Structure 1
Amino acid sequence: MNTKTKTISGLYLLCIICIGVFCSSTVFGQRSDSISTNSKYKRIAKTPQIKGDVPVYKPNYTPGSSFTPYSSLLSHNKNGKQEKVLSVLKVYPNPVDDQVNLVLRLEREANIAIKIMDLLGNEVVTLANERVSAGEQTKTYTIPNRLNSGIYFLRIVTGSETVVKRISVL
């Protein structure tokens, strides 16, 4: 036999022996799950308790105090439902060229923010951020010429209310 054949047959025999040895043992390099009594490990009889002075949390609210929950700060009607403060009646002309008109109704005086958003929801332009009196209002805003033609969203925010209208810019 030549050297190459001897080497291959030796490796083959070595592989058979290794497979026989490793496959006969059930677990490789692990100890048994149960700990015997003569083990070097110490068995803990009970779980250790952490002791310390931690004060109990008590909120600063007492019945009859001047505490006002957030939900009562919002205006509600007699049925307990939240009143709608903002109503956007009309956005014209659409498609928009150089200015946009907005007809809206406010139930009470409020701060209003009007922004133009792109299709991804990124703010492009803030048209207004002002205090508006109650009642029906007609507002006219100039569209900046840096705005490319395409589809945008007009977002009108009053307090916790948001109204979004779709506009096309020429």
Structure 2
Amino acid sequence: MNTKTKTISLLYIICIFCISVCCGSTVFAQRSDSIGTSAKYKRIVRTPQIRGDVPSYKPSYMPGSSLTPYNSLLSHSRSASGRPDKILSVLKVYPNPVDDQINLTIRLERESNLSIKIMDLLGNEVVTLSNERLSAGEQTKTFTIPNRLNSGIYFLRFVAGSETVVKRISIL
């Protein structure tokens, strides 16, 4: 090796040594308390809240389109008095989540057959709670939930005439 190569190698080694000394110095490092990692995690425990008042999806009508929106055909049928022809109103479903008994407050505008069924998430009928003819007016019904139902989310399907109302419940 010639002297020029030896000089370059020596300068290279000296530069690496100086860089390692300077970078290892606490003068150039961050403060010691800022580089430590903290294992303090804030644990958040939330109980899931199930809301039964979520409105159903209704697509909007686009002006200028030749298509008639479905809601103008189905949901806006009116009787002679100018009110919608709504037979069934489910006023309350409580308690929710359900443990062993469920209370249902419903209103029928006229006497009709009412069917109340518990459906699973796939839409399969699990239990029929009621299938009877009821008179018009507001009524509160209490039903016992069968023990064979596993904990989870189910749907209550109310059918009166051609009208169907679905409410979500959680069973403990």
| TM-score band w.r.t. shorter chain | 0.5 to 0.7
Q: Is residue 2:87 matched to residue 1:85?
A: yes
Larger of the two Rg values belongs to structure: 1
Shift of 1:102: 0.3
Equivalent position amino acid for 2:149 in 1: L
Q: Measure how far apart 1:80 and its partner are.
A: 6.8
The equivalent position to 1:94 in structure 2, one of 93, 96, 101, is: 96
Residue of structure 2 equivalent to 1:159:
161
For 1:93 and 1:78, how far apart are their aligned partners in 2?
38
1:99 to partner: Cα distance: 0.8
Percentage of pairs with the same residue: 79
| Equivalent residue, structure 2, for 1:53 | none
TM-score (ref. length: structure 2): 0.53
User: 1:125: how far off?
Assistant: 0.3
- Aligned alpha-carbon RMSD (Å): 1.7
Equivalent position amino acid for 1:144 in 2: P
Normalising by structure 1, report the TM-score.
0.54
- Give the CA deviation at 1:77: 1.4
Match of 1:139 among 138, 141, 148: 141
1:124 is aligned, of 114, 123, 126, to 126
CA distance, structure 2, for counterparts of residue 79 and residue 92 of structure 1: 33
Q: Which amino acid aligns with 2:143?
A: Y
- Point out where structure 1 has 5 or more consecutive residues left out of the alignment: 1-74
Please name the residue that 1:150 is paired with. Answer: 152
SS in 2 for 1:152: strand
Gaps of 5+ in 2: 1-76
